[in-house]
Amino acid sequence: SGTRREELLLEEGTLKMVWTMRRMLSAVGTNEGIELLLNRLAKSESNAQFLATLTKQAAAES
């Protein structure tokens, strides 16, 4: 099935951060998006920290 039901799997705060990450990645090119992800993942100690840094960056840019 192609139905995405991630709202049932993730907490609301985490889900909002994931959506923010997707919006950021859709705004840049494929290669730039991959580089952004790899750089941020390498600097993060956890998934939560990774998502938080992306959310902070998105807030600063808007």
61 vs 20: which has the higher pLDDT: 20
Structural domain count, the chain: 1
pLDDT on residue 3: 72
Give the list of residues 6+ apart from residue 18 with CB closer than 8 angstroms, or none.
Answer: 6, 10, 51
pLDDT score for 4: 79
pLDDT digits (tens, 9 = 90+) for 1-50: 567 788 899 999 999 999 999 998 999 999 999 998 999 999 999 999 99
7, part of any domain = no
- Give the residue numbers spanning the domain of 41: 31-62
53: in domain = yes
Judge contact between 8 and 22, C-beta under 8 A.
no
pLDDT at res. 2? 62
